[in-house]
Amino acid sequence: MLTVSVKWQKELLKAVEIDTSQPPYVFKCQLYDLTGVPPERQKIMVKGGLLKDDADWSTVGLKQGQKLMMMGTADEVVKAPEKGPVFMEDLPEEEQVVSLGHSAGLFNLGNTCYMNSTVQCLHSVPELKSSLVKYSHSGRNNDVDQTSHMLTIATRDLFGELDKSVKPVAPMQFWTLLRKKYPQFGQLHNGVFMQQDAEECWTQLLYTLSQSLRSAGSSENIDTVKDLFGIDLASRIHCQESGEETSETESVYSLKCHISQEVNRLHEGLKHALKSELEKASPALGRSAIYLKESRINGLPRYLTIQFVRFFWKRESNQKAKILRKVDYPLELDVYDLCSDELRKQLEGPRQILRDEEGKKLGLKANEKSSSSKDDDVKMIDGEGSSNASGESTVTTSQEGVPSDKETRLTGIYDLVAVLTHKGRSADSGHYVAWVKQESGKWIEFDDDNPIPQREEDIVKLSGGGDWHMAYICMYKARTVLM
């Protein structure tokens, strides 16, 4: 780590640290944060000419305390005219974000698209942001290590930057702490940071947040991550040979969609993943035997995360190979038939209320709607009944005079709100992108620092079958009613 000073216009930036294990582009992102000069406009004079984004620091010949000269113009904030119409670019940056309708992009710091896409998807969960805002520097107790605490703080601060900025954000502090907490994300190949698996980043980050927010000392934060993402599974484990049968329960943060020749749709892959065979010792037989494990959902979250199991370890190439098979997924997902009998009974009342309210919207009477099949019920539910940022259904909040003692209840029906895609043939190469539904209903493709508006009908086309972007992780938001 070197410390230099940088002369820019009339300013002298003192004690700027350079991590020589990272490419010069990362250093330029640091200067962008300090000066507002985008990396592509920066001209930094070093021995032999201008500093290139991918230059080797060992050949640049920097010395401790060296003074560098930078040229470049910062993005100017247009001053609002004293009179006349007010255009969006004339507004303060916070108001520009509101007018723009989506948050900022994230600079790629060197094969960090896996991290950027994960952050953008989780950033779209308002309840998670709310819990992070309440988390303070003094919130840590002895159950959480210092690095996890600081990574949680960095996540909170990064989410805040994304909400306030119209310019791309350089997630330097977050990335540094992510690598410190989980060193596998700091792997180098020929001096360059390697691409990593976005699902591993998603899982590790959620685990850290679950530990930090659970220990925040406030009763409402005790199970924040589990309440938002936790799925309770009840499993029956049966050995046909011996007749032995046991049961077990577990909590996970995502469902798996297994992909095989028989799987063409998400629902089929979910059913396939909830059944598995395992070999273990049989007390009755005194030897190993094959057991069938059948699982059912026994508790649903506000946000249902689904991972498409597209990667497997290929010994010949010594890397994670990719299953390119097309698997269709819906904008609206009903998991009622994947639930336990106990949970189905709990869902029946809320589902009936939701069907009746949707029927009223289409001009049907409640009893007419009730007489139709469950499949028809699900088909007629449209985006108008989706959850808003507060987690309450717009169907129920539109009613007047609702008693305050009513509770928000899940229905087992979910709306797609985020898709994390991968393009390429291996999990540790290629490119990751986030596709996120905004509160306005618009979809934005976050390709690192470049947010691009997309049409909803194009989101479900990211289902695979070729070398284009295909869904790797889908996040659905629960439709709820008040009861």
Nearest CA to 109 out of 1, 202, 185 is that of 185
What DSSP string describes 217-232?
Answer: S-GGGTTHHHHHH-EE
Tokens of 312: 């497997």
Q: Which of 29, 102, 113, 339 is catalytic?
A: 113
- Cα angle for residues 149, 152, 157 (degrees, 5° grid): 125
Q: Regarding beta strands 43-46 and 49-50, do their DSSP bridges make them parallel or antiparallel, or are they unpaired?
A: antiparallel
Task: Assess contact for 463 and 327: CB atoms under 8 A.
Answer: yes
Pairing assessment for the beta strands 231-238 and 188-189 based on DSSP bridges: unpaired
220 is written with which tokens? Answer: 């409402």
In the three-class reduction of DSSP (H, G, I as helix; E, B as strand; rest coil), residue 40 is classed as helix
CA atoms within a 13 Å half-sphere pointing along the CA-CB vector of 404: 0
How far apart, in Å, are the Cα atoms of 96 and each of 34, 87, 102, 167, 336?
A: 21, 10, 10, 10, 41
Assess contact for 467 and 125: CB atoms under 8 A: no
Active site residue 238: no
Q: How many CA atoms lie within 13 A of 265 on its CB side?
A: 7
Element (H, E) at 116: helix 113-123
422 is catalytic: no
Known catalytic residues? 113, 431
